Amino acid sequence: MQRIIADFSAFEGTNCYCSAESAERIRQAIADLPLQAFHCIGTGDYHYQTLFWLERIAEPFSLVLFDHHPDDQPGAFGEELLSCGAWVAYARRLPLLQADCWIRDRADFPALDKLPDLPVYVSVDLDVLSQDYARTDWDQGEMTLEELQAALCRLIATHRILGVDLCGGHTAQKGASPADLALNAATGEALYGLFRNLI
């Protein structure tokens, strides 16, 4: 599975909230990129980009979200403006999305065994991990990298993976140290390694 850097944070009107014009610009930017890939989409401020990948899926599927935050909250500015905290609510309106599974910590892992027998799109926010494995500018969970890897391996063994995206982490502009950036890069590499050989 190819790794694609799909970070569109340089576009105007995209930080945390995504204007309709910027959403269309991002959709056009990813239109020729492969869906079945490991998409690196930037910090958690841009997690809503997952929605644009889900819109391209042309068969019934499930979404599995590893995230310390639910991302299905009402938008602060109503339903007209897509946001990093509300995109899951939009995704649930997609006619081909049959089930979504939110994994916040190890206690949620049994839900993976209840997924329907459908292909899966996987979205991972690094904030699901403890600070021993990732550094973000949000509050974080307590999952270990080994636990996350085990859950992802379970999905790989039991479902066809339609695509994966990874977001979260910290940026130097927001105060991340070189050690923070190196830790996040190493964790991202470890996660990509699970999917690298998928066709």
Report CA-CA distances (Å) from 113 to 50, 101, 108, 148: 23, 10, 10, 15
d(CA 169, CA 126): 6
Choose among 126, 102, 141: nearest CA to 191.
126
Tell me the pLDDT tens digit for each residue of 113-124: 999 999 999 999
d(CA 117, CA 181): 37
Q: Which CATH architecture has domain 3-195?
A: 3-Layer(aba) Sandwich (3.40)
Are 39 and 78 in contact, with CB atoms under 8 Å apart?
Answer: no
Percent of the chain with pLDDT over 70: 87
Strand partners, 125: 167
For residue 152, pLDDT beyond 90: yes
